[in-house]
Every structure is written in structure tokens, then in C-alpha cells.
Structure 1
Amino acid sequence: MVNSKHPFIPYGKQTIDEQDIQEVVKALKSDFLTTGPIVDLFEQRIAEYVGAKYAVAFSNGTAALHGACFAAGIRDGDEVITTPMTFAASANCVLYVGGIPIFADIDPKTYNIDPKEIRRKITSKTKAIIPVDYTGQPVNLEEIIKIAEENNLVVIEDAAHAIGATYKGKKIGSIADMTMFSFHPVKHITTGEGGIITTNNKLYYDKLKQFRSHGITRDKTLLKEYHGPWYYEMQFLGYNYRMTDIQAALGTSQLNKLDMFIEKRRKIVKQYNDAFRILDEVTIPFQSRDSKSSWHLYVLQLETEKLCCDRKEMFEALQKVGIGVNVHYIPVHYQPYYQKLGYRNGEYPISEEVYSKIITLPLFPGMVNEDVEYIIRNVKDLITKYSLKSNG
């Protein structure tokens, strides 16, 4: 092992420069602090970038998913199929509107939701599918959309990891009925906290805008009555999920650097893959020919049957030398709250097996080559130390 005082390297981190700071300062000095012209600009820029007609910004990605579920018409008792290999928000958003999350197991290569499993889970109560572009690699959208069309389902793509990714040459965000992107600090670009839904459907767009602002509208064509120019109506129970102009100013500035950030991520991934593909004791991420990942996360699978240590020991050893590894994700159905709802261990065997072996290595644009080499060296040293071949 390398015993060095190398600075701690987190698994993910925002990259903020002076231009970002100046844009936020300009917003702070402007007439609008909350939802105003800069939010409008940010939405327009995101829609243009992904090739969608509309975009609606939210206070965070979870709020955006909540809005998408509402706009899709998911209500009490409706079933929505999603993956257990994700952050809890992908399923929680279904619960928020009274729906029932139905998990479908993953493909053992891509770790994305398996379309064959989606087909098995469809019932007369199924209303939508929420596929997740795990780590930034797009799901099999062609097959998922085909399934949705055959069964009159809405596809809400959770692309929190995948802004800038492409599927069969098309940008993610322009393909599904609705697509969510997240702007949490560890994502490709950040607004501090924030999320957005892109769509080509005007009805969804209108519902999303109203939903994020208490269900209130001032649109004369939608009003039941009209008392005068001050008049507005709350037509359904919405939420205060608005993004601020301060956040949008940061996001708009960050968007100018998104392609550069993605290229840096891809360069680091190539270094990792070149270093680790020769090791029998690990499996590098699978890359589909149909898509081009934007690489939010780099997930290495430990072939634990070839190692004389478990994942916990490897995790702690890497943390000890300042490498901020993580695990993405604890399957949602493992969570105590979901266990109370009746979800059980053993029902999604591929997700559970993958979870038991994976470890996330640091990946963000601010990493320098010395960081990448340090991580590679330490991982290789640990693999050698714990390999059954070395200890045989």
C-alpha cells in the first residue's frame, strides 16, 4: 500500500470557477432573487442542449420527479415500475402521489433496469415506468418505450446521472415522455440543489409549471373566473418547489462548461479502465454500443470469490489512505421504511448480488492526473495484497 499524506479525494465534488461566482453575484445584485428571468434562461438553455421543446426547473431533483409523477396522472393505487438499484428518490416520488413502486431487477452487465423484468411486472394497475440511467449509462430506451407504447404507459426517465449522455445518437432528455436531471453538487453541473424536467409534451409542461408553484395559475385561458389583472387561482394542491435565480445563475454558467466536464470524466474513466481491465479480481463497467455514457460514477465490481477479503475490508483500506470510495446504491427495498411496506430481501437477486460486490471510485472534473494515478496505484496494491492468486 502507498502510505502517503496525499489529500483526501472524495468520490464526487463540484467544480466552481470565478466566472460561476461572478454570475451568482450578478444575480444577487439583480431585481430578482427567486424564480425570475434567469430561471427562464436556464430552462431554455437546458432544453436547447438536450433537444427538448420544454424544460421546467425545480428546487431539487426529487421535487422534479414528484412533479413528473403528478403530471403523468399517477394517483392512489397506481403502480409504477422502477429499479431497486438507485437512490430512494426514484421510488419515493411514486409514494408521494399515492402510487405503488414496483421494482424490476437489473441487467447483470449494465446494472440498468432489465426490460424483460419490466414486462414481467406489468399489471392492469401499471401507469408508468421510471427507468434510471445508472452511473450515466442510458437504459435500453428503445425497448422500454416499445413496452410503454404497447401498454399505454408513461416513461419518466430518471437521468440524474446522465446529462450529456446519448442513446443511439440522440441526447438524453429528448427521448422519454419526461426526463429528470439533477444538479446536486456531485452531479455533472450544479445549482447547489436543483433539478429539472425536460419534455416535448405541452400538457406535461403546463402541469409541471403549475405544480411547482402551489397549483396556482394566472393563465386567463385556464381560469374558472376572472376578477381583474391581480387574479390567480389555485386549481389543485401543488407545492412550493421553485428554483431561485441565484441557483439558475450558477447552473447557466456551469452549463457552458458541461461538455468539457464530461470529456474530463471520460478521460479519467479511460485511465481507470486501462489500469483495471487486466485484473481478474475486478470487473470494469460495461459500456453499451447503443449509448455513450456521461459518467457520473465509476463503479468497480469486486470478484470477491477471487479475493481473501470482503468489500468492507477493501472499502475501509481505501478510506484509510484518503480515497473517498462509496457504494451506489443500497437497493431501495433494503431500507427499513420499504421493509415496513412489505418489500422483502431476496426478491431482486441480481441487484442484491451486484450491491454486495460494487465499490465507487472517485470521479469528478477537478481531479488531477496525480489523483487518478494515486487511486489506481492503491487499488492495484490492495488487489495484489488480497488476491487469492498472490496468497495461494
Structure 2
Amino acid sequence: MELHKPIPFSPPDITQEEIDEVVDALRSGWITTGPKTKLFEKHLAEFCNTSTVCCLNSATAALELALILMGIGPGDEVITSAYTYTASCSPIVHVGATPVLVDVAPDSFLLDYEAVSRAITKKTKAVIPVDLGGVMCDYDRLYQVLEEKKALYTPNSPVQATFDRVMVLADSAHAIGATYKGKKAGEVADFTAFSLVVLKNRTSDRYTGIWEKGAKAA
């Protein structure tokens, strides 16, 4: 009698088409950023209905680059979910800002928006909501909170000055292809970081991109 039955965890779905593409890339002489990466960025931008995609080595790097682009650093606070991977929080520390963790809502794995409201101060420059398991956060509710608190927002960089409220940088590592009220992940938040690592719902080696909302492109 078999007592333990192995359950495959995240088995890769690789066909000959993917194998041929990898071989073609290796034979091209480009083994880092090259024409295929640029084509990948173009296709992802079209898929997400956004203007700009930048491929990086990880979602952590994508989040950190976005924070740098926002001009966030020492003295600033960034709110994020306590229920997440370290990558949602560590980039905040990397740029010298202070992470502010808020809990998830009762009976949910997503942000408690009332807790976000209470956590906003004059030092708050961004919120990193975490989309989880293919489910996007309630961005309408989040933007409502940020609108209610916009009197506390004081921009201190050119990018921050293009906003009249705390900025939203979505950690959508789990949500590429997900939708919220008819809009795809990548066109809802001001900035969005995706992960394409092997355990995610869509993978392509370890490329990760920042999707910048077209309406807020700097």
C-alpha cells in the first residue's frame, strides 16, 4: 500500500517550440540583453495595454528601480503588506526608505485598506500593494484611501511632483495576465513589477519587467 503519493509542484510546461526559441537565442550570439529581450518588452507592453516595459533580472530589482525612479529614499516611508515575500519590503530598505507594514483584511490575503489609511503620514510617498495568487487588490478602494489622504502628500522629486497623492507601485509577481474590472495587471497601478521566475503563472527564464502606467509615464 502506497502511503505517500508525490504531488508535482509547479511542473514546467515546455514544448519543442520553447526549446527551439532557446536554441535560436543561443546561436544568435546574444546571451544577455538583445533583440529577443526588446521584442519581449514590446509584446508585453502590448499585452498589458501600457506604454513602457523594462526587463530586469528579478522582481526585486524592478521594485527597487521603480522606487529610485520615484525619487524615494532616506526620510520617506513606503507602505506594503505584511503578508508577502521579502522582495516586497527589501527594496524599500535598499533605497534607504522606511518600510511600514500593514496587515491583511479579515478573511482576506490582500491589504486592509483601512489599515493603509491609518498608516499614511506626511512621510508616506508610495504604497506597494501585493496581488496574490492571481487575484488583484481592490485598487478602487486603495485609490479612494489615497485621495482622502492626499492633503498629507508632499512631493520631493520631479516624478513625485507629477502626482497629487501617494504613488502606487504594485507587486504583481503573482498576477501577470490577471484583470481588475476589465483592466489588466500593468495598467491599473502607477507602476507595476511582474515576476517571470519559474514558480509563477508565466515564466521566461528570469526576466522581470516594470510596467509603467501609460497615463503616468514620466
Give the TM-score normalised by the residue count of structure 2.
0.87
Q: CA deviation at 1:194?
A: 2.5
Q: How does 1:238-277 map to 2 (within 5 A)?
A: none
1:196 matched to 2:209: yes
Q: Which residue of 2 aligns with 1:98?
A: 96
Structure 1 runs of 4+ with >4 Å offset: none
Count of residue correspondences: 201
Q: What is the letter of the counterpart of residue 119 of structure 1?
A: S
Query: For 1:213-224, what aligned pairs fall within 5 Å after superposition?
Result: none
Offset at residue 4 of structure 1 (A): 5.0
Please give the secondary structure, in 2, of the residue aligned with 1:135.
Answer: coil
Q: 2:174, 2:71 → 1: CA distance?
A: 25
2:49 aligned with 1:36: no
1:347-389 Cα deviation digits (max 9, x unpaired): xxxxxxxxxxxxxxxxxxxxxxxxxxxxxxxxxxxxxxxxxxx
Change in 2 beyond 3 A, CA 1:13/1:76: farther
Quick one: which amino acid aligns to residue 3 of structure 1?
E
Shift of 1:3: 3.0
Alpha-carbon distance between aligned partners in 2 of 1:47 and 1:147, rounded to the nearest angstrom: 28
Shift of 1:125: 0.5
User: Which residue does 2:171 correspond to in 1?
Assistant: 158
> Aligned to 1:26, what secondary structure does the other structure show?
helix
Q: Per-residue displacement from partner, 1:121-149 (whole Å, max 9, x unpaired)?
A: 00110010000012221101011123334
Cα distance in 2 for partners of 1:146, 1:14 equals 40
Q: CA 1:125–1:5 in structure 2 vs 1: closer, same or farther (change >3 Å)? A: closer
Partner of 2:80: 82
Equivalence for 2:108 = 110
- Give 1:99 shift: 0.6
Asked whether the equivalents of residues 129 and 148 of structure 1 are also in contact (C-alpha less than 8 Å), the reply is: no
- 1:155 alignment partner, SS class: strand
Distance 1:108 1:72 in 2: 31
Identity of aligned residues (%): 38
- Cα 1:5–1:105 shift into 2, 3 Å: closer
Matched residue, 2:160: none
Residue-by-residue CA offset, 1:301-326 (whole Å, 9 max, x unaligned): xxxxxxxxxxxxxxxxxxxxxxxxxx
Conservation of the 8 A alpha-carbon contact between 1:112 and 1:134: yes
Q: Does 1:123 align with 2:138?
A: no
SS at match of 1:145: helix
Instruction: Report the structure, 1 or 2, having the larger helix content.
Output: 1
Secondary structure of the equivalent of 2:118? helix
Q: Does the Cα contact within 8 Å between 1:14 and 1:187 map onto a contact in 2?
A: no
2:117–2:146 CA contact under 8 A, matched in 1: no
Give the match for residue 385 of structure 1: none
5+ residue gaps in structure 1? 204-392
Superposition deviation, residue 179 in structure 1: 0.7
Deviation sequence 1:29-82 (CA, Å, 0-9, x none)? 114222121111111111111111111111111111111111111111210000
Name the residue aligned to 2:140: 142
Matches within 5 A, 1:1-392: 3-4=2-3, 6=5, 8-149=6-147, 150-151=149-150, 152-199=165-212, 200=214, 201-203=216-218
Aligned-pair RMSD on alpha carbons?
1.6
Aligned position for 2:156? none
Match of 2:28, SS? Answer: coil
Residues 56, 208 of structure 2: 8 Å contact kept: yes
Provide TM-score, normalisation by structure 1: 0.49
Q: Is the 8 A contact 1:86 1:132 kept in 2?
A: yes
Query: In 1, distance between residues paired with 2:99 and 2:189?
Result: 19
Give the AA of the match of 1:161: H
Report the structure number with the largest CA radius of gyration.
Answer: 1
CA contact (8 A) 1:131 1:139 kept: yes
Partner SS, residue 136 of structure 1: coil
